Amino acid sequence: MPEQTAAIWFSTPSVETLNLKAEATLNQNLGIEVTGFTDTALQGKMPVDERTVQPAGVLHGGASVAFAETLASWAGYLVVDSSRFHVVGQEINANHLRPGIAGQFVYGEATPIQLGRRSHVWQIHIRNESGKLVCISRCTLAVIDLPGQYATKEERA
């Protein structure tokens, strides 16, 4: 029998709530949507259209990286107590393996490699509609205190 793993999420708002929070942001401008969760992954999709292609008519590598960091950032945000912490991108890399084809969607899934107290490392697989890998990315997030959450001098003493 496979070992059961506990869900990694501190909170799991609805997909609709996350997508509403993305209005008037890069996410909306590129057509990025969160589509679902598993116990250990966050999933989304992005169109390959005039917003996300390069002049040759295939998915722009920068759009893939923006999609990957968006999924990792949402996932990191949902893992931490957002009343105390926030996550910000610290480093990202990507290997572009095949072109994303205009007129289709690409689908991404962010899964954790390491969830530390002050940093997370997420792996993001981006696939085409046939399920073939288009891009694999790794994103490191810094977990930072929200402003006002820093300990006072008296509290540190």
Q: Considering Cα of 92, then 65, then 67, then 110, what sign does the dihedral take?
A: negative
b or e along 63-90 (b: 16 or more beta carbons within 10 Å of the residue's beta carbon)?
Answer: bbbbbbbbbbbbbbbbbbeeeebbbeee
Strand partners, 54: none
* Known active-site residue 69: yes
Catalytic-labelled residue, pool 69, 129, 154, 155: 69
Give the closest residue to 27 by CA, choosing from 49, 41, 46, 55: 46
* Cβ burial, residue 97 (10 Å; 0-12/13-18/19+): middle
How far is the CA of 71 from the CAs of 64, 74, 76, 126, in angstroms? 11, 5, 9, 10
Residue with tokens 């969830």: 115
Q: Catalytic amino acids? A: 69
